[in-house]
Every structure is written in structure tokens, then in C-alpha cells.
Amino acid sequence: MTTLHFANARLIDPVALTDMVGSLTVRDGIIIDQGGTAPASATVIDCNGACLAPGIIDVGVKVSEPGERHKESFRSAGRAAAAGGVTTIVTRPDTTPAIDTPETLEFVRRRAEAESVVNVLPMVALTKGRMGREMTEIGFLLDAGAVAFTDGDRVVTDTKVLSRALTYARSLDALVIGHPQDPGLSAGACVTTGKFASLRGLPGVSPMAERMGLDRDIAQLEMTGARYHADQITTARALPALERAKRNGLHITAGISIHHLTLNDMDVADYRTFFKLTPPLRSEDDRQAVIVALAEGLIDIVCSMHTPQDEESKRLPFAQAAAGAVGLQTLLPAALRLVHGGQIDLPRLFRALSLNPAHLLRLPAGRLTTGAPADLVLFDPDAPFVLDRSTLLSKSRNTPFDGARLQGRVIGTWVAGNRVHGGLDA
């Protein structure tokens, strides 16, 4: 039996919302004690006052297998995740072809098990080919290991198809993840409407498109009673509708990407395509509103929305460039900007990074309590560095944080008690 004892650590507990010096003991990949002394047979890891927290569960990661392995593989994504303190990646089905059959899902599961050093939980398409016309075999896909159903950023426009899919998902207690956006208003847009978009001559989309998409999905939830997660809520206008839906008892949660929490539409500057995202970056007023919503618990989850794109698809005029940014390695240091800015504390941040994603997917992880899996991240929240994108472990390096001054370095990452990142000594 392998026993580890983490001594002299700042324990970041998202369940108790505490941040205190203590110790943690792990045996055979399971947390067995918090605050006790080291067992005689334990390997002691002196954390030297660094923060020890539950490993991050990142919902909405794109791994480009099958179809575009040159952009990201399970091996490279796993290494990047471990380096960023992410112990579980929840992968998207927007691959080539889409993950929409038990056979494709089985391929993904086998590749992930063979190649990734972190846990991989696959989401699958809600409709066949992500075309919005016919729902997938939800029951068979659940049996094959799917954890949620989503068409990603392709909105199901046929409300009858969506209603049937939500009703069937409700009968099987399956989770559906939606992308709140009115597809008509957002078609062809690459930035958020406003003075900046006008000055740059770029096609924009109103923030109301998100509100309209969310209102439609909430109406469908009232009709079907399904479990639903909005992948990204990024505008102030959408927050009242989300709050009402939660107050009315609907099974709804919401996430947001770290890029929308820490960047705004002005960062696009001189047509910098690494800042082209879906949905587009919002105004500073919107950014401040969603930070408050996160701190208050209205927005439940923070994710990277990791979307690798190769250089050829990004080195194009802004309107034609591919959307998306990588974020597995930068999720934690970028999120710590909010902590250093006094906008959220570490336990509440890890509630959004670890505990709430675990609740959403009904996992025992995301906490430091006895009996939980020893998926852990040890990090120095104050260590400064300037990000050089050439050092990222992802195959694609389309990060908007290239050259940015960040604070927070991961010292070590453990999955089920096995160290998957960092040296031999903490």
C-alpha cells in the first residue's frame, strides 16, 4: 500500500470554504485523513507552505482526435492538463467526425486510456453529426460511457428536435449542455457589437443574442424538466434570466471560460486573432458583471474552453481566422488574477474549478474530504512569470496570454495519488 503525507500545506477546501495550514494523508489513491500526523510508512512531501487543492475538473476541452490529431492529441492534452493542475478533462464531441456513435466513443475512450496521464470523461453529440436534425442514441451512448450530451457551439435551431432530445434525456437523467446564442443574430459575427467593433469595421453580434438563446433554452427546460448546463454565460443581460431560472427550481447550471473572465473586447486591439473566441470577448462592464456573478455563485463553473487551432487557421484576417484558444496550462494562473485582484478568494475559486464540476457530473472528486480520490494540485499562487507560448505542452499554442505577466505556478499534480507532473520533491 502506497501512503503519501502532504505536510506544511495551505489546504484550499472548497467544501468548507477554508484556507488554512494543515496536512493531508493519502493511501492507495484515496484521501484518508486531513490534519493528522504522518503514518510511519508514509512518504512525506513537505509542501513548504504552498497551496494544496483538489485537482481542476475542466469541462469543455477539445481534443482533436479523431480527425485533427496535428492540433491536439490525448497525449499532448494530458501533459498540458497535468502541467496546469487539471486532473480531469471533460472532452467535447466537435471532432472530425463528431463523436455521435458508441463506436466512435469507444475509440475515444481507448485512446484516452492509453495516452492521457489525467482522467478523461467524454461528452458526445446531442444530435447526429451535430447537424440538429435527429437526436443521437442517448441511451446506448450513456451505457458506452458518455457523461453529457452537447452539440457544442452549433445551436439546435429546430425547437421540436431539441424538445424531443431534452425529454428523452430527462427520462434517462442525462445531462445536456447547451450554447446559449441566437444563431440568426450571431451568424457571421466575430466580435461583440459596440464602438470598438465599429471602429475596426468588424461584423458584430449583440449581447442580446446570448440572452435570447438562454431564454429559449429555459423555456424548453420548463417544458421538459431536463438537466441542463449553459456552457458559457458571458453577458450581464443574461444573468437575470439565469437567476430566475435557478430561483424557480429548474435544473440549470452555468459556466464561463477563463478568457471571458480575464479579457475584454479591447484586447482584440489591432486584429489579434489569438483573441478571437466563441462567443466573442465582451465589454468591460460585462466582464465585471460575470465576475460578481461567479463570486456570488450564480455562475457555477470556470473552465478553459480549450480549443486548439494550428498557425495556418489563425494567421488570417480576423473575420476569416478560426475561433478559439488553448487554456489547459493557463487556466489556473489566469484565474488567480481574480484572487490577486481581491474579486474572489481561493476556496470559492476552487469551488468553481473543482467542486461544482464534480457535482455537475456526479463525481466523488473535487474535494479534500476523507474518501475522495487523491486528485490534487500543489501550487505557489504568488510565483510570478511571463508566459512564453513556446513552452506550452499543447500541440497548438494559440494562447491570448503570450507575453502576459501571470502569477501562480503548479509545483505538482497527482491523479489517484500518482504524480503526473512535477519533480520527485515538492
pLDDT at residue 35, rounded to an integer: 87
Pairing state of beta strands 51-54 and 3-13? parallel
C-alpha distances out from residue 139 to 143, 166, 175, 252, 367, Å? 6, 13, 12, 21, 30
- State phi, psi for 424 to the nearest 5 degrees: -75, -25
Which residue ranges form the domains of the chain, and what is each CATH number?
A: 55-361 (3.20.20.140)
Cis peptide bond N-terminal to 97, omega within 30: yes
Nearest Cα residue to 317 out of 159, 202, 179 = 202
What three-state secondary structure class fits 333? Answer: helix
Question: What's the CA gap between 425 and 312, in Å, rounded?
Answer: 40
* The pLDDT value given to residue 270: 85
| Contact status, residue 25 vs residue 14, Cβ threshold 8 Å | no
Q: How far is CA 254 from CA 12, 26, 75, 257, in A?
A: 23, 32, 29, 11
- Return the beta strands (E) in 231-375 as ranges: 252-257, 301-303
Strand partners, 12: 19
Omega within 30 of 0 (cis) for the link into 279: yes
DSSP of 133-186: SSB--HHHHHHTT---B--TTS----HHHHHHHHHHHHHTT-EEEE----HHHH
Q: Which pLDDT score, from 0 to 100, does residue 269 have?
A: 85
Predicted local confidence at residue 1, as pLDDT: 66
Phi/psi of residue 204, nearest 5 degrees = -115, 165
Q: Which three cell numbers stand for residue 351?
A: 469551488
Give me the pLDDT at residue 425, please: 43
Segment-wise mean pLDDT, segments of 10 residues, the chain, 426 residues: 93 97 96 91 95 98 96 98 98 97 97 98 98 97 98 96 98 98 93 86 94 98 98 98 98 98 93 95 97 98 98 94 97 98 98 98 97 98 97 97 97 97 64
Note the pLDDT of residue 423.
Answer: 67
Q: Are strands 18-27 and 30-34 parallel, antiparallel or unpaired?
A: antiparallel
239-247 and 284-296 are packed helices; what angle lies between their axes, rounded to 10 degrees?
A: 20
Give the Cα separation of 255 and 175 in Å (integer): 14
- The x, y and z cell numbers of residue 51, run together, are 497551496
CA angle 155, 159, 164 (to 5 degrees): 105
pLDDT at 333: 98
Q: Per the structure block, which three cell numbers stand in for 226?
A: 431536463
